[in-house]
Every structure is written in structure tokens, then in C-alpha cells.
Amino acid sequence: MNVTIGEIEAAIRWWRTRAESDAGFAGSVVGCALARMYGAAIAGHAITDIELDQAQRDALGALKGFVETATVKQQGTEARK
């Protein structure tokens, strides 16, 4: 499965809002992992989940877990309407 540039950008936004500062995010393990992926994506390299290192998986996984949880909660709310 390919990781899209949109997923990487969403993960960057998600993590940046949780960081104490932009500089703190940029120097973090997560920030560096996402920067490597973003650079590869901009260069036109198709990134597959098999190529990801553990830090990259963790950075994307946290966002995907949040999105899946929010989606389930939203669906539950819509079912009650």
C-alpha cells in the first residue's frame, strides 16, 4: 500500500498541533521521520508501507489511529440521529 503525500501532510499537521513549538517538532524523532517521507514524496518516490522504518510507522500510525477513532465516534453519533 502506498503512503500518499496527503497522508504525510495530515500527519505533519496533526503532530505539529501537539508539539510545544515548531522547533521542537522539527527536531523530534517524529518530525525527522515525517520530513524524510515528505522529501521522498516530493521527489516523486512512491512510498510503500513496507519501506517505512519504525519511527515513520509510529508517526503515521498515531494519526491513523486518531482518524479511525474519530470516524467510529462520528458514525455512532450519526446512527443516533
**Amino acid 65: pLDDT:** 67
In the chain, the N- to C-terminal Cα span, in Å, equals: 35
Q: Reply yes or no on whether the pLDDT at 32 is more than 80.
A: yes
What is the tens place of the pLDDT at every residue in 49-72? Answer: 888 898 998 888 877 765 554 433
pLDDT greater than 80 at residue 75: no
Query: Where does the pLDDT of residue 12 fall: very low under 50, low under 70, confident under 90, or very high at 90 and above?
Result: very high
Residue 24, CA atoms < 13 Å, CB-side half-sphere: 7
Rounded distance between C-alpha atoms, residue 66 and residue 48, angstroms: 21
Number of domains in the chain: 1
The pLDDT-based confidence of 30 (bands split at 50, 70, 90) is: very high
Domain that holds residue 28: 2-80
Helix 5-18 to helix 29-42 angle (10° resolution) is 160
